A and B are shown apart, each in its own frame.
Chain A
């Protein structure tokens, strides 16, 4: 009975080969990229002292700079609030049109589904750059960029929630002779409202963080002063702004988490 003594592998031989080959290719690509972009790890570690010195130059933070940062911080939060409000309003019709529990027409459904997918593939920073070049430096391009950016996320989340609602509750409203708007208001809204509020708060948090980055491309807010102070090599000021920002973000997230737990 020699055959039963054969070496039995857990995985088929072919699979082992494929996995090994894939890993080798990934590793090769990784080193190739490192080489091409000249981001040398050895250099990074040998320059560690420079990195360390730079970090040290950020301390102690220049607390006196904080009053100058309050205005831009408020602007950042305002951008996030306005953009979130716009996207929360616009996402309602969009997500209804891309939920198969509401729209029975396959063409309409897939059109809006793909539109949302497309919107989400555009990075926020690209949108901001685009709007800055269209409308000039200021908070308007920031608001527009974040509205489009968060609309994609919000409408996707909401439409997926609408697709999971209990259709029997809609059926009952339909059977009373209610029209489409009444079915939505009486049957859909009560079922998705808690999640909707929660998504709105979540997107607001995202927008606060994203509006920061947008400042670097001239879309207003606290990001623009970070950019300026970095360019002037005022690292102590930068650190002060970062700490202020950290405190603000933690505060906003705590409040938003608290509110979310209340509604869901």
Chain B
């Protein structure tokens, strides 16, 4: 369970990322955060694994207030929370396998990981996860030789290898074409349903949000301006969240 209690975040340059956010996300939910760029979606998601640090309020992940966490405790939080990025953020020059096994880093001693002494179980887990996203045939390819969609699938495998309780996805399909976008979202949805991993996805495409989300949270200027089940959401809701009429580029389109 994730609970934001009056969380605010002001960046050092004075930009207000979050303004008094109060929200609770239950275990196993598939939540999509929507909003225009600059609305605070990224800040919201990155606060949960403390890639950014809120400046006010309390933020509970699994019953623990994470805002003060440092060092070892912070790394322990991050092993529980996996993250998927817009630009995949794979280590380009490393192999698919090496990228995937790096999901085990938080669970592996420094020396063991430097010498590649992963347990048989860890290696099998990494390979199984590559198979789950149908990318196992590229296991020894260099990451930068894969297409965008393939790279994003490897990054999903990396996150799964972490065995997280929560998956955060920051605009995971923004750099992909429509068919690949749907493919990636389907994998995320399937994992959420099969493994009951709480999944929070940032999107700015409203049709994709409506198609995949159980619950939609709308943000504008660092505030939550909408929060409700996806079934209740219409285009009108999005016009309220975006504070302007819906345009064509707000839609990803179908497969």
Contact = CB atoms under 8 A, between A and B. Distances in A.
B214 to A, nearest CB: 24
Nearest to B107: A177
Interface string B84-125: 010101111110001000111111001001100000000000
B49 A175 contact: yes
B75 interface: yes
B166 to A, nearest CB: 12
Interface in A125-180: 166, 168-169, 171-179
Interface in B44-63: 49, 51
Contact of B105 (A171, A182, A190): A182
Nearest to B76: A177
A177 to B, nearest CB: 3
A80 B104 CA distance: 41
Contacts of B93: 190-191, 193-194
Interface string B139-175: 0000000000000000100100010000000000000
Contact of B110 (A168, A174, A179): A179
Contacts of B110: 179, 181-182
A104 to B, nearest CB: 12
Contacts of A173: 91, 102, 105
A194 B94 CA distance: 12
A187 interface: yes
A169 B114 CA distance: 17
A178 B51 contact: no
Contact of B75 (A171, A177, A186): A177
Nearest to B110: A181
B82 A178 contact: no
A185 interface: yes
8 contacts: A168-B87, A168-B89, A169-B90, A169-B92, A175-B49, A177-B75, A182-B113, A186-B105
Q: Which 6 pairs of residues, A with B, have the shortest CB-CB distance? A: A177-B106, A177-B79, A172-B89, A178-B105, A177-B78, A175-B83
Given A172-B83, A175-B82, A186-B105, 17 more contacts: A169-B89, A169-B92, A174-B51, A176-B104, A177-B75, A177-B79, A177-B107, A179-B75, A182-B105, A182-B114, A185-B113, A186-B91, A186-B94, A186-B113, A190-B92, A191-B92, A193-B93
Interface of B: 49, 51, 75-79, 81-83, 85, 87, 89-94, 98, 102-107, 110, 113-114, 155, 158, 162
